[in-house]
Amino acid sequence: MKVSAVACKTLEILRTAGLFLTVLSLVACMNDGTARNKLLHDGISVKVQINKLTYPSTGNVSYVHGRLSITSSVKRLISANLDCIALGKNELRSRKLYVDSMAHILTDAYEAKDNQIDVNVYWFFDKILNADDINELEIMLAKEYVGRERDCMFLK
């Protein structure tokens, strides 16, 4: 299922914590039927391209499939805790991210190659989503990592 196009949105959140300034910038632009979301945090760029929405045969749940790309423009990216990356809007938030693979792959220290991570993933939602819901999804931190952003990316 392709995602219908919506206008670009930009959200900037400025926060101070100790002596450093964290700038989060979210851009959601869809012009060719797929979602492109970007979150910037201390030189870390997180991009999600949403590819499809699926429903398992049982339960009121949805899977949002996409491509997750993480790069660093400041320091060398060693690994990332993919569990930090959630999709959501307002109170709606994905419960878990999984690497889209036949084998079970650990997501808490996913290794970067050549200063980037580029992997097919899917997010689990405990609700039936539709195309309108998908168009409004934003990249956000998983609830358990809010306020702990520095625990998500490992740089050198």
Mean pLDDT computed over every residue of the chain: 75
Range of 14-18, 35-39, 112-116, 134-138 with top mean pLDDT: 112-116
Give phi and psi for 145, each to the nearest 5: -110, 0
How many other CB atoms sit within 10 Å of the CB of residue 51? 18
Per DSSP, 5 falls in state P
Q: Which pLDDT tens digit goes with each residue over 5-36?
A: 322 222 222 222 222 222 232 233 333 345 55
Q: Which candidate, 106, 94, 102, 30, places its Cα nearest to that of 64? A: 94
- The whole-angstrom separation of Cα 71 and Cα 46 is 7
- pTM, two decimals, is 0.74
pLDDT band of residue 95 (cuts 50, 70, 90) is very high
- DSSP letters for 99-150: E-SSS----TTEEPBTTEEEEEEEEEESS---HHHHHT-EEEE-GGGTT-GG
Question: For 61-89, how does the pLDDT look when each residue is reduced to its tens digit (9 = 90+)?
Answer: 999 999 999 998 888 899 999 999 999 98
